[in-house]
Amino acid sequence: MAESVDQLLARVALGDQAAFRALYAASAGRLLGVAMRLIGDKARAEDALQESFVAIWNQAGKYAAHRAQAMTWMTAIVRNKAIDSLRATPKEMPLTQTNDDGEESSHDVADHNPGPLQSLLERCADERLRHCLGHIEESPRQALLMAFYDGLTHQELAERLATPLGTIKAWVRRGLARLQTCLQGAEA
């Protein structure tokens, strides 16, 4: 019987290279999808995945100590590496930019059709999370999903959604607080 990702990662924590190969085979496709969604460029997404697997090997012992779900732990590593890459080189031009002569130019607001994000949420296998996000008002929910799936900062969300920065921060803060309350209620 094939070993689960949790079992493989536990063996990786003991320095087992064969388990590391099996772990990569079992998870790299999903994890590269996560990096690609954030970065939007396959070569850079693969660089982020490479850095992630180096970190997974080096930090697997630490994972063993806190016993998170292996896929949760690895996905968080990949998202962090991808966000670092994204912050170093954003995938799209900002809404306005200033050139060397001090002239400000503007770009069109990026397409933020809620359809694809909503369908990603609907495909989420975690029913509680889907339910709780579904109960957040549409605009804060949209901001949370864009932040999660597209890796946008508050400022970038404000530009994409053509909404004041203060409002965006309040949406994100309130959205996360409501999500936490709902998820904790479901746990109780």
Residues that bind another protein (CB under 8 A): 7, 10-11, 13-17, 21, 24, 28-30, 32-34, 36-37, 42, 45-46, 49-50, 53-54, 57, 61, 64-69, 71-73, 75-76, 79, 83, 87, 120-126, 129, 144-145, 147-149, 151-155, 157, 172-173, 176-177, 179-180, 183
Structural contact between residues 130 and 122, judged by C-beta atoms closer than 8 angstroms: yes
Give the C-alpha separation, 91 to 36, whole Å. Answer: 11
Instruction: Kindly tell me which of 12 and 101 has the beta carbon lying closer to another protein.
Output: 12
Instruction: Kindly tell me which of 92 and 126 has the beta carbon lying closer to another protein.
Output: 126
Neighbours of 14 (CB within 10 A): 10
Coil, strand, or helix at residue 156? helix
Q: Which of 174, 179, 76, 176 is nearest to 128 (CA)?
A: 179
Helix axes 138-150, 165-187, angle to 10 degrees: 90
Q: How far is the CB of 99 from another protein (least distance, A)?
A: 22
Structural contact between residues 83 and 75, judged by C-beta atoms closer than 8 angstroms: no
Q: How far is the CB of 154 from another protein (least distance, A)?
A: 5
Q: How far is the CB of 105 from another protein (least distance, A)?
A: 22
Q: How far is the CB of 87 from another protein (least distance, A)?
A: 5
Instruction: Kindly tell me which of 101 and 133 has the beta carbon lying closer to another protein.
Output: 133
**CA-to-CA separations, 19 to 7, 65, 103, in angstroms, rounded:** 9, 18, 55
Instruction: Kindly tell me which of 37 and 112 has the beta carbon lying closer to another protein.
Output: 37
